[in-house]
Structure 1
């Protein structure tokens, strides 16, 4: 638990995306410090509806907003339109509606906003996303920051790299690897050499809370959340075998991979360290062991 939240009992904190993987962890952490948490899930409010978003925020009158909500559905024209509105516009709508007394609005962005790079990516890396999700997240971060600057509301965008931990969706990579360890079934893997920067979900929650309470954080700050270490898919499976004590059978090349997969994908988290005093504290082996114990 971050020391900065110790005095937050009774502070009204609005969390969007509260039903998601990271959102559930964040809400539990806020409950531990007796914050007055208002949770929004996709069942509570349509974040693609500007008037409803603004009216709902005005009714809550939050002291802090932690905007984690994101959409990914691209299955139809209507779904793509809704995804674009949620990822691109909802953050700006929230900023427009918060009271002047709001301490901060923090947006959880994504490393997919960046272009692929063979070098560690800092916050000056080009925004050249591949696919609808990254494009809408990148546009949303820019519009969110501009809206906050116009309002004079303190804001930050936290671009998380590959987040993992207990409670992640079953179809994602780490849960799939651990399920194969438990069941003994063969794990389909991508072609060798695809890398990601894996960051523990609790460390990402820490960064969200630290950014919300860091009153000296420059307005409009953008900070990368990652470990600065990248790991291939096959290396992660090796680590999973060690921490679970089970052999994981693999079919290398049987999985087609994702459109955004790349041979290099790693953060430069130096700005978060210097501005927030934040760093990822849980390494991959410990994080996989904790996930295994919780599965």
Structure 2
């Protein structure tokens, strides 16, 4: 294929990365998936490993990578508090050193590069919903700061490379995303609730459950990411990507119990340090720039995610 793009996806064996790899392969691209498998899993790449246009490389991007590509999607980083707090120094390294290495690669080969940033750059927000021009309320020395501040520093690096080296960058701030291929032990609220419900175990709620989150289904997220990469060079972001439908955590737990038919009871524990009380994206910019709106409602997305975990648990 003459116009086939060579695309690098770091963190490509992870939850979001594996879905992105599939989308890019379906579009006819040549895809190199790079992952050190700290949280990513080869099982997420089922059906891709034998595709002639797909290649997997086990590699840690805190070390340089010397390849030739046309586009880079930088998704490498543990995204759940359990995993990123388990090795906070490495979490900071992958955000800072990893970004520097990927930006250096993009500069050398003149590739367009995407950064998967996060709603965590807003910290525990005092503005609701959160627009892109909100500077955030982040504790720079807390247990979550290796991820929060790491992602903020990564954004700084991306925009400095853009200004100093005229690099073509795209930055998306991803809000809570869920769907098949989530890690079963990532400690995130959707996967936690579903697994606890399917196993008929008590569903753990931190705090009183009144804190809110907005949940975006993975297919909607991938559509937004690929649209952002296809925009003109003057569109850099950051752009919020998420679903603005807001739910209390206790409402989510009750919905999961209803959809699984579980007899699980709710148990309440203390709220972790710096856990945001509200999280909802302002996606007006995504609507204007990408002509994008999330399509999958929470009940439909939860049903698909529950089906995935039912199959996963049946093989354990």
Superposed pair shares fold, TM > 0.5? yes
Contact (CA 8 Å) 1:10, 1:35: kept in 2 or not?
Answer: yes
Gaps of 5+ in 2: 38-57, 140-144, 310-316
Look up the match of 1:61.
68
Counterparts in 2 of 1:23 and 1:9: CA distance versus 1, 3 Å: farther
- Note if 1:222 corresponds to 2:238: yes
- Distance in 1 between residues matched to 2:71 and 2:88, nearest whole Å: 29
Residue 120 in structure 1 maps to residue 129 in structure 2: yes
Once residues 217 and 237 of structure 1 are traced to their aligned partners in structure 2, the CA distance between those partners, rounded to angstroms, is: 42
Q: Which residue of 2 is the match for residue 82 of structure 1?
A: 90
Say how many residue pairs are matched. 276
2:170 aligned partner: 156
Answer whether contact 1:127 1:138 (CA < 8 A) is retained.
no
Runs (5+) with no aligned partner, structure 1: 1-6
Q: 1:88-123 deviations in whole A, cap 9, x for unaligned?
A: 232233222226764521100011111413510010
Change (3 A) 1:229 1:8: farther
Q: How much does 1:205 deviate?
A: 1.3
- Change in Cα spacing, 1:292 to 1:8, as seen in structure 2 (3 Å) is farther
Partner of 1:174: 190
* Shift in alpha-carbon separation, 1:111–1:227, aligned structure 2, 3 A: same
SS at match of 2:238: strand
SS in 2 for 1:218: coil
- CA shift, 1:204, in A, is 1.5
**1:211–1:217 CA contact under 8 A, matched in 2:** no
Question: Which residue of 2, 13, 16 corresponds with 1:22?
Answer: 16
Residue range with higher mean Cα deviation, 193-202 or 105-114: 193-202
Distance between the aligned counterparts of 1:34 and 1:198, measured in 2? 29
Deviations 1:195-223 (A, max 9, x none): 11111112111122111111x25343200
Moved more, 168-177 or 18-27: 168-177
| Aligned alpha-carbon RMSD (Å) | 2.2
Structure 2 residue corresponding to 1:145, chosen from 159, 170, 177: 159
Give the TM-score of the pair, scaled to structure 2.
Answer: 0.80
Are residues 239 and 217 of structure 1, via their aligned partners in 2, closer, same or farther at CA, if it must alter by over 3 Å?
Answer: farther
Q: Which residue of 2 aligns with 1:165?
A: 179
Which position in structure 2 is the counterpart of 1:35? 29
The equivalent of 1:209 in structure 2 is: 226
Alpha-carbon distance, 1:145 to partner = 1.7
After the TM superposition, which residues 262-277 of structure 1 pair with which residues of structure 2 at under 5 Å, given as runs? 262-277=276-291
2:225 is the counterpart of 1:199: no
